[in-house]
Amino acid sequence: MKHKALVRFLNKEEGGRFNPPLSGYRPQMKIGDEHTSCLITPINQEIETMEFGVDYEVNIDFQFEENFYDKIKSGLNIGLYEGSKLIGHGYLI
């Protein structure tokens, strides 16, 4: 199931990525104290690259969503990670 979120990606000066992510990006997502994989695609399908420092409305598909039913709700803060490195953040809308 797709969930809408507002996300912003961090650049290398902020401790994030060296290159902006493309549509279809698959980072790890932190929900509370747990991590899961996810798929992120911009709602505006014309966007191919999500630039740093810009808020994007995206669809997020959670992997193993059934493990997070009790936590997934509007306003939930999320962290986006590559390994242990925070590369973006946002919240569900």
Q: What are phi and psi of 14, to 5 degrees?
A: -90, 5
Q: Residue 92 contacts by C-beta under 8 Å, 6 or more apart in sequence?
A: 3, 4, 5, 60, 72, 73, 74, 75, 76, 78
- The 10 Å Cβ neighbour count of residue 42 is 19
Give the per-residue pLDDT at 69.
Answer: 67
- pLDDT tens digits, one per residue of 8-65: 999 999 999 999 999 999 999 988 788 889 999 999 999 999 999 999 999 999 887 6
* Side chain identity at residue 42, one-letter code: P
What are the structural domains of the chain?
2-92 (2.40.30.10)
